[in-house]
């Protein structure tokens, strides 16, 4: 029994994989589309107080963001289907052969979780200062004369901006009477 060559082109599955590989940026477009639909769905089903006055309410920003995500998803899909391709990042000097720095990741995660635990008993100004100082330390700064001062100023400025200017109450902790 002999087999004959049919002389046909490569299998359709191979061609489909090649087309998908050439248009892989469509995955980002699909992700943006799904995110836009999710944001719009959540915004439109939001329970809004009937006593709201004025044109700008709690739905306004999510609707604008969701619509923007849908527009960007459509524009990206059109660009990719017309042959547009993303350019490789040339500005990064990351050596992909080096292993990940899990120590830094663990330190940052620990500092973040520590700040989350300490924010209620110590208040935002103290927990925020520890967060900023710990993050600087985890990322390699060893200036013990300067870093705590900068962290304290950043934390107090953030607390004042949110608490006093934006009206978002943050826990003050023991410094509540002082600030």
Per-residue pLDDT tens digits for 71-127: 999 999 999 888 877 776 666 666 767 888 899 999 999 999 999 999 999 999 999
Dihedral of alpha carbons 58, 64, 70, 73, sign: negative
Q: How far apart are CA 77 and CA 73, in angstroms?
A: 6
Q: Per the confidence metrics, is the pTM higher than 0.95?
A: no
Q: Look at 85 and 129; give whichever has higher pLDDT.
A: 129
Q: How far apart are CA 109 and CA 29, in angstroms?
A: 31
The CA distances from residue 164 to 13, 81, 85, 160, in Å, are 61, 49, 47, 5
Per-residue pLDDT tens digits for 35-79: 999 999 999 888 877 656 667 777 888 999 999 999 999 999 999
CB atoms within 10 A of CB 135: 17
């Amino acid at each position: 029994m002999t087999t004959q060559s049919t002389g046909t082109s490569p299998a359709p599955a191979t061609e489909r994989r090649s087309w998908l590989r050439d248009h892989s940026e469509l995955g980002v477009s699909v992700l943006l589309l799904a995110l836009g639909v999710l944001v719009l769905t959540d915004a439109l089903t939001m329970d809004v107080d009937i006593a709201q006055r004025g044109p700008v309410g709690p739905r306004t920003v999510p609707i604008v963001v969701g619509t923007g995500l849908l527009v960007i998803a459509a524009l990206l899909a059109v660009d990719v289907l017309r042959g547009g391709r993303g350019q490789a990042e040339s500005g990064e000097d990351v050596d992909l052969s080096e292993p990940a720095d899990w120590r830094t990741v663990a330190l940052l995660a620990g500092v973040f979780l520590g700040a989350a635990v300490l924010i209620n008993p110590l208040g935002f100004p103290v927990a925020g200062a520890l967060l900023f100082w710990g993050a600087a330390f985890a990322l390699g700064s060893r200036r013990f004369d300067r870093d705590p001062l900068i962290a304290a100023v950043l934390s107090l400025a953030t607390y004042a901006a949110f608490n006093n200017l934006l009206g978002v109450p943050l826990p003050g902790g023991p410094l509540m009477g002082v600030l």
